[in-house]
């Protein structure tokens, strides 16, 4: 490893004289008296009162004006009246799903959905499909269980 040669003293420490040290006194020149940041703050704090005094009093009558004549909202657009009651449809769909796992639940859900559909004036078709399918799957389950028991006991050596 090589070390750089010592520069002559008249070049400021760098070859070619690229850097000259600052003059004595820090290099900032003469500073104004009192710290150099302008005038001193007024006694009693840095800020005075705000000009203009802020906001004025609110207008009479509440500020937002009177409501429009005739009440609040207008009539809803056609087809957007009361929300529809989809309970019979939902019960029918859940009853159809229950065919495969619990057919007695499908029967109960279908019958409840059918009665709710008649009360609300909706079509009870989906709920009827749910409970009738529940009955069919319940009967198929009973028949298949009887067949399974009879064939198992007939093949049994006991």
Residue 69 lies in a domain: no
The reply to whether 129 falls in a domain is: yes
Q: 108 lies in a domain? A: yes
pLDDT attached to residue 87 = 84
- Interatomic CA distance for residues 110 and 120, integer angstroms: 15
Nearest one of 9, 30, 31, 33 to 21, comparing CA atoms:
9
> pLDDT digit string (tens) for 17-74?
566 666 665 556 666 665 556 666 666 666 666 666 667 766 666 556 666 666 666 6
- Report the number of distinct structural domains present in the chain: 1
Backbone angles phi, psi at 124, to 5 degrees: -90, 15
Helix axes 125-154, 87-97, angle to 10 degrees: 20
Give CB contacts under 8 A, 24+ apart, made by 22-29: none
| Domain encompassing residue 91 | 87-152
The pLDDT tens digits of the residues spanning 125-134 come to 999 999 999 9
Token output for 115 = 């009665």
Q: Is 137 within the bounds of a domain?
A: yes
Which letter does DSSP use for residue 72 in this model?
S
Could you read off the pLDDT of 62-108 as tens digits, one per residue?
A: 556 666 666 666 666 665 555 567 888 899 999 999 998 999 999 99
Please check whether residue 54 lies inside any domain of the structure: no
Q: How far apart (Å, rounded) are the C-alpha atoms in residues 98 and 114?
A: 16
Q: Residue written as tokens 């064939």?
A: 151
With respect to residue 114, please indicate whether it lies within any of the assigned structural domains: yes
| Confidence band, pLDDT 50/70/90 cuts, at residue 147 | very high
Residue 23 counted as domain residue? no
Residue tagged 């009973």 (tokens): 142
> Residue 151: pLDDT band by 50, 70, 90 thresholds?
confident
User: Do the domain assignments include residue 51?
Assistant: no
């Amino acid at each position: 490893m090589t070390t750089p040669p010592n520069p002559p003293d008249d070049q400021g420490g760098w070859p070619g004289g690229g850097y000259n040290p600052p003059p004595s006194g820090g290099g900032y020149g003469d500073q104004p008296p009192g710290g150099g940041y302008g005038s001193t703050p007024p006694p009693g704090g840095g800020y005075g009162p705000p000009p203009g005094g802020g906001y004025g009093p609110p207008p009479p009558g509440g500020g937002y004006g009177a409501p429009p004549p005739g009440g609040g909202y207008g009539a809803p657009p056609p087809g957007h009246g009361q929300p529809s009651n989809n309970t019979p449809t939902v019960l029918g769909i859940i009853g159809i799903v229950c065919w495969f796992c619990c057919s007695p639940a499908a029967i109960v859900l279908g019958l409840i959905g059918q009665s709710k559909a008649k009360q609300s004036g909706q079509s009870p078709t989906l709920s009827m499909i749910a409970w009738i399918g529940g009955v069919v799957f319940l009967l198929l389950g009973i028949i298949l269980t009887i067949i399974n028991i009879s064939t198992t006991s007939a093949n049994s050596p006991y």
